[in-house]
Amino acid sequence: MDPNKSATAPPMEWSDQKSSMGQVAPPAYNPHMGGYPQAGYPAPPQGFGPPPPYSEAQYGQQPYPMTQPYPMQPGTVTVQPTVYVARRTLAQPVNDYMGYSIFTMLCCCLPLGIAALIYSISAREANHVGDQIVAERSSRMARTLNHVALGLGLGISILIVVYIVVVASVF
């Protein structure tokens, strides 16, 4: 079998050279066995001398006289007491419609049921934290979404039953 006539072999007019596509070819590879090339930056100096001595006059500072003691620090620190403001669970919690949301999510309309479940969880958390306004708003939205999901689910179910009855009466 001839390898030039193989189905996976490149056509004969192809060459092994890559196309330049309008760019200059890169320079040839030059392995440097002894380290880095010396063209360009000069080699860094080897070894370092000792650091310059510290001199306070160099920075414009005056030395602290060792004969005087450091100034006295206050012996006691006064701290303000911490005040925690915590809300309590609502005495009359708002209905969160959790069961209704789970029912509409599983049996009626999945997308609206999921949205209603999210608002139900939000209402439950607001009840637990003690935020009456957020609890009422989330509860109202959960109830509205549940009613719409139940209506859509019942409407679609009735339409399916009517369609089945009509199709069955034709045959």
- CA distances to 11, 127, 164 from 116, rounded to whole Å, are 64, 16, 30
pLDDT band at 165 (very low <50, low <70, confident <90, very high): very high
Here the contacts of 105-111 (C-beta below 8 Å, separation 24 or greater) are 105/149, 107/153, 108/149, 108/150, 108/152, 108/153, 108/154, 109/148, 109/149, 109/150, 109/152, 109/153
Is the pLDDT at 139 greater than 90? The verdict is: yes
| Whole-number pLDDT of residue 114 | 96
Return d(Cα 105, Cα 121) in angstroms, integer.
Answer: 14
Is the pLDDT at 85 greater than 60? The verdict is: yes
pLDDT band at 28 (very low <50, low <70, confident <90, very high): confident
Return d(Cα 154, Cα 152) in angstroms, integer.
Answer: 6
Higher pLDDT, 87 or 148: 148
Between 15-19, 55-59, 110-114, the lowest mean confidence (pLDDT) is in 55-59
- The SS3 of residue 147 is helix
pLDDT band at 38 (very low <50, low <70, confident <90, very high): low
Is the pLDDT at 99 greater than 90? The verdict is: yes
